[in-house]
Amino acid sequence: MIGRIKGIIIEKQAPVLLVEVAGVGYEVEAPMTTFYRIPEVGKEVILHTHFVVREDAQLLYGFFEKDERELFRLLIKVNGVGPKMALAILSGMEGSEFVRCVQDHDTHTLVKLPGVGKKTAERLVIEMQDRVKAFTGLAPQPELTPVSNQQRNPRAEINDAESALIALGYKPTEAAKAIAAIDADGLKSEEIIRQALKRMVN
């Protein structure tokens, strides 16, 4: 089991990171809550990881905080919730917001997440009721300051954001509509994704 990696960020293409550790590049899938916290390409990062071995693939999931990883592990134990859906849930809302939804039986908000239908939302609320009690202290996402990106074409940032939303499970039309509804001029892809996710979930 690979439980933690420390290395240099080589590429960031949400929801996938490429992290070089001792000359080996690890592809790590991470929720957007992690992307909002990690440093830029070329900087060192420490990720708490969860390793999944399937017949057709070996997948590594990374999280900035240990509590996020533990919440991810609890989510994939819920019947019908796999790693991809768990990643989408933790990208669409903060861990603390998910805990609130479970405690308040707020299935109305949960069904706005990609792949989460009414039955899955109800199952999440029922099966996670006792499990989320240990996560009331989850840290909120840090606020990002919109900055102008001089190194990349603004269209490239929008394209990256749209691709990330689709990879998280949103339909192309939903992703395009959410991005079109915000002022994305001068924003980096992570901030575009964040604002688009807020529009779709709230």
Domain ranges of the chain: 4-63, 66-135, 154-201
Name the pairing type of β-strands 24-29 and 4-13.
unpaired
pLDDT at 183: 87
Query: Given the structure tokens 């029922």, which residue do they identify?
Result: 126
17, β-bridge pairs: 12, 28
User: Who's near 90: CB < 8 A, 6+ residues apart?
Assistant: 31, 32, 33, 68, 71, 72, 75, 98
- Which overall architecture, per CATH, does domain 66-135 show? Orthogonal Bundle (1.10)
Superfamily of 154-201 according to CATH: Ubiquitin-associated (UBA) domain (1.10.8.10)
4-63 CATH pick, 2.60.120.10, 2.60.40.1220, 3.40.1010.10, 2.40.50.140: 2.40.50.140
pLDDT value, residue 150: 47
CB 81 within 8 A of CB 162: no
pLDDT (tens digit, 0 to 9) for every residue of the chain, 202 residues total? 789 999 999 999 989 999 999 999 999 999 999 998 999 999 999 999 999 988 888 999 999 999 999 999 999 999 889 999 999 999 988 888 899 999 999 999 999 998 899 999 999 999 998 888 777 555 555 555 444 444 557 788 999 999 999 998 888 999 999 999 988 888 889 899 989 988 887 7
* pLDDT for residue 138: 59
Residues with Cβ within 8 Å of residue 132, at least 6 apart in sequence: 71, 74, 98, 99, 102, 103
pTM: predicted TM-score of the whole model, two decimal places: 0.82
Q: What is the structure's pLDDT at 141?
A: 55
pLDDT of residue 176: 92
> What pLDDT was estimated at residue 143?
54
Q: What is the pLDDT of residue 87?
A: 93
Residue 153: predicted pLDDT: 73
